[in-house]
Amino acid sequence: MRVYLEALRMSYRRFRTYGAATLAGLATNCFFGLLRSAVFIAFYTQRPIAEGYSLHDALTYVWLTQGMIMPLYLWGSLEIAESIRTGAIASDLAKPFNYFGFWLSRDLGRAAYHLLYRWLPTLIIGFVFFRIRLPGSPLAWSSFALSFLLAIILTFCLRFMINVVGFWTTDVRGIMGMVLLFVNFLTGFLVPLEFFPPTLRAIVTELPFAAIISIPNKIFLEQAHGLDLLILLSRQLFWVVVFITAAQLLLRAATRKLEVQGG
Amino acid sequence: MGNLRLYLLLAGARLRGQVQYRVSFALQVASSFTSTFVELLALLILFRTFNDLGGWSVGEVAFLYGLASVAFAIAELLGEGLEQASRMIREGEFDRVLTRPVAPLLQVLAADIQLRRIGRLTQGLLAFGLAQRWATIDWTPLKGLLLLAAIGSTTVVFLTVFLIGASICFWTVESSEFQNIFTYGGTELASNPLQIYPRLLQGIFLFIVPLGLTTFYPALHILAKPDPLGLPPFVPFLAPLVAALFLGVGLIIWEFGMRHYQSTGS
């Protein structure tokens, strides 16, 4: 267990060295938050409520999702694929720890950093300038925290699996681009799923992608209570179990296939 | 050999190289298309619920969106080399550039051209198609010319932002993500009617990075919309002039930066 905690801590500290980049990234996230807010403010001059969202809710959605980009690492990293390309993977696999667990710990360390230095400031700026609504009870905050953690594990699994495809083809960039950018839409990142046309919405809410952005946002906005809340969380938990299992199977198949690139 | 001919020769070689790996290339184009297409889709979905955006219909916004998208796609396609400038400076490749008897800017531009950006271009043209279908546009030869001028001018503005970003690398070596505010952020901003944004933002994107003058104002004239900001009626036709001025400023910063260049020694 200690090795995983250590990996988590190291990864957190590694990201802390990128101070200037963090500031520029934060400015970009907030700038987009501002643009997206302006669009909703203009739209909402026509009606007070749309698809169950007040302007207040929509703005909260905007700032919360802008803040979640980095903790979820939506646009991902190709570090594992890179280690396959360089051959470093061979020694990583030989080390006496669980390969998946090792990378998960590293990713949680990264997420902890981004939570503190990207999510929190974005949320504060949204609160100060756009009066976004915050959850009103400790229960809402803690269910959101759990939901967010599950979402982070989910996106990690997704990125892990895309990276592992690199065992078969050393050019995963195209696949990565396709999947992750499609994700922008299916998670509800660009538009809340509630705004989708009914048929499309019925399909999309059943997909695992909804568990990444849509569900944590619904919980943050306190749109679900009691049993509904429990259902949302178990839906996320279900997908986390499925994805972790799938990632393990894929990894096992891949290691059997592995041909190390020399160099 | 003329500079332009040299550029075309180098660029042609890059392009031929990229299409060699057919599957990889097709995937990259597809990825560039979907990534931008979902943004258009998101906009259309919002227009299911809401009727207009600041007095603009879905077709009119699609027109603006297409204009910004097409211009940004061309700028990305041509300007990839500028995005690589940071790497060239860091790895000492820029030393080699300076020893060759060809303008450094031309070499940097020819260093990389990304044909996969035609994915975004296609998506922008699709938005134009929707605009043509849904918005009533009374086309005249003058309007056609204005549209071409607007696309060209906007492309130049985006390329200049890349150029200034690359110039800053002469001081900082690393490129900064701040540039994204004016490139990706600029496209996003220019895709919607300017009046929906706060005054300060309108000012910045009209008079500092003049995207508003090269997209929004020509679009106002072509779509025959009233000007919500009350600028003089000739403003839509200033786009090429404004873009040229901005490019001039960018070139001065580039020259100034190059004089400041010190090799990293690596």
> Which tens digit of pLDDT belongs to each residue from A176-195?
777 767 788 999 999 999 99
Of A28, A38, A171, the CB nearest to B196: A38
Q: What is the mean pLDDT of chain A?
A: 89
Nearest-10 crossing angle of helices A19-43, B22-49:
40
Q: Using alpha carbons only, what angle is made at residue A189 by residues A134 and B78, rounded to the nearest 5 degrees?
A: 130
Above pLDDT 90, what percent of chain A? 62
Statement: residue A261 has pLDDT above 60: no
Statement: residue A174 has pLDDT above 60: yes
The answer to whether B177 contacts A173, with C-beta atoms less than 8 Å apart, is no
The answer to whether B185 contacts A51, with C-beta atoms less than 8 Å apart, is no
Of B45, B53, B178, the CB nearest to A196: B45
Q: What separation in angstroms does the CA of A118 have from each of A217, A219, B49?
A: 17, 20, 31
Statement: residue A263 has pLDDT above 70: no
Chain B residues within 8 Å of chain A (Cβ atoms): 21, 24, 27-28, 30-32, 34-35, 38-39, 41-42, 45-46, 48-54, 176-178, 180-181, 184-185, 188-189, 192-193, 196-198, 201
AA identity, residue B178: F
Average pLDDT for A253-262: 71
> Which tens digit of pLDDT belongs to each residue from B167-209?
988 887 776 778 889 999 999 999 999 999 999 999 999 999 9
Give CA–CA dist B215/B234, Å, rounded: 14
Statement: residue A68 has pLDDT above 70: yes
pLDDT score, position A147: 97
Above pLDDT 70, what percent of chain A? 93
Average pLDDT for A203-224: 95
> Which tens digit of pLDDT belongs to each residue from A5-44?
888 888 888 888 777 778 888 999 999 999 999 999 999 9
The answer to whether A27 contacts B181, with C-beta atoms less than 8 Å apart, is yes
Give CA–CA dist A219/A228, Å, rounded: 10
| Top-confidence residue, A128 or A91 | A128
Residues of chain B with pLDDT under 70: 1, 175, 265-266
pLDDT score, position A259: 62
Position A145 confidence tier, pLDDT thresholds 50, 70, 90: very high
Determine contact, residues B184/B163, Cβ cutoff 8 Å. no
Q: Look up the ipTM and state it.
A: 0.90
Of A1-5, A58-62, A81-85, where does the model show the most confidence? A58-62
Q: Which residues have a Cβ under 8 Å from the Cβ of A81 and sit 6 or more positions away?
A: A162, A163, A166, A170, A172, A176
